[in-house]
Structure 1
Amino acid sequence: MSDISTPTFSDEITAEVASQKTHAGLSQVERDHAERDAYAGRKEVALGINARFFVSVGNLSLGAWKSCKGLSVTFESEPLYEGGNYESPAAMLAKQLKYNTITLQRAMHPVDSAAVQKWLKDRARSWMHQWWDINDQVWPGDTMAITLGDSSMHAVATWNLNGVYPSKWSGPEMDAMGSGAVALETLELVHKGFLM
């Protein structure tokens, strides 16, 4: 008979309460370090695979993509110098957060590509008719989630983009005399950011 028992739900609750008591007197940084060390002690650590990610907008899944470029933010600043001090700035003045255009690309897919076309048609209607919400405010854009998965497709990280608008969609370049390469679609998106 094996001495190893499967932990029950009550065991997990007891462990969570004990963990909270252990970390009760710690600062946020100390708690973060303790959680990281506990996670690092596990046998299986989920690492993100850059070839495994999927995209959804609102409740609509746009499926998996081949590549995602432009997922970055720049903290723009301006140095402030004091008179007579020529070595280093006295302070850095915060200016704007600058988000790049997101570019998604993948092979055409009968279900996922149709979902993209549905979303684009909805956005085209609101774009042409300047859709307004019930408070007479201009439509604020969609919320989009880009989720990075591990080797088992479990979520490792998610970026929630706010105020998402389609910027450009490009279909495949078709050529009957070509090499028979995979037909690709490209979707470019502008957004208001993922940190706010």
Structure 2
Amino acid sequence: MSIGINAALVASRNHLGVRLDPHAGNNFFVEVDGLLAGSFSAVGGLQSEVEVTGHDEGGVNGYRHQLPGGTRHPRLVLTRGVTELDTLYSWHARVCRGDLTRRDITVMLLDRRHVPVMWWNVSAALPVKWVGPDFNAMQSSQIAVERIELVHRGIDKPLLSRGVGAAHAVAELVESETGGR
């Protein structure tokens, strides 16, 4: 179904001469277990990769079979300026003491009006590394930042997220066609 929606959007866009520009990567927020977890300056590691094993077949020299295996997810890395709100550090400190409470994380991409247009759910995250700020008296404008790295059990872009993204694209097309009326 999403291929049909995408094809319809592309056809409409091309027919109307309307551009659907990509969203800015600096307009997002992060929730931990459904609660806003503060402002982040960067999110990295939203990726997954299917591991592939090469297999040679006797007498076939033109190619090598590539057989899919398990899926690998690198660590999710969250970076933000240090504030008095230390929920991420506290979570990591509890893990260091043996409390292995995993939490679900949602990364939401926002449009220029700060409305969520799509999101990714990261399941069962666990903080395994915390990096505190570097201090340098020679750099007076430097912001103190902290970074936390989380292992997790996978990333999902829910169907509802994809539907909201498609609906947003249709709304952009209608707005551009009607001039925002």
Q: Report the TM-score when normalising by structure 2.
A: 0.70
Partner of 2:144: 183
Which amino acid is 1:59 matched to? Answer: G
Partner of 1:57: 32
Is 1:47 the counterpart of 2:18? The answer is no
Runs of 5+ in structure 2 lacking a partner? 158-181
Runs of 5+ in structure 1 lacking a partner? 1-26, 131-138
Partner of 1:96: 70
Is 1:124 the counterpart of 2:100? The answer is no
Q: 1:54 to 1:96 in 2, by over 3 A?
A: same
Greater C-alpha Rg: 1
What is the rounded CA distance, in whole Å, between the counterparts of 2:19 and 2:113 in structure 1?
A: 12
Q: 1:56 to 1:119 in 2, by over 3 A?
A: farther
Partner of 1:156: 117
Structure 1 moving runs of 4+ over 6 Å: none
Is 1:192 the counterpart of 2:167? The answer is no
Q: 1:156 to 1:100 in 2, by over 3 A?
A: same
**Aligned-pair distance for 1:178?**
3.7
User: Which SS does the other structure have where 1:30 is aligned?
Assistant: helix
Which amino acid is 2:31 matched to? Answer: S
Q: 1:55 to 1:83 in 2, by over 3 A?
A: same
Alignment RMSD (CA, Å): 3.0
What is the rounded CA distance, in whole Å, between the counterparts of 2:127 and 2:106 in structure 1?
A: 14
Contact 1:143 1:160 in 2 (8 A): yes
Matches within 5 A, 1:105-144: 105-110=79-84, 113-120=85-92, 123-124=94-95, 128-129=98-99, 141-144=102-105
Tell me the matched-pair count.
Answer: 155
Q: Report the TM-score when normalising by structure 1.
A: 0.65
What is the rounded CA distance, in whole Å, between the counterparts of 1:28 and 1:61 in structure 2?
A: 29
Is 1:68 the counterpart of 2:43? The answer is yes
Q: 1:42 to 1:109 in 2, by over 3 A?
A: farther
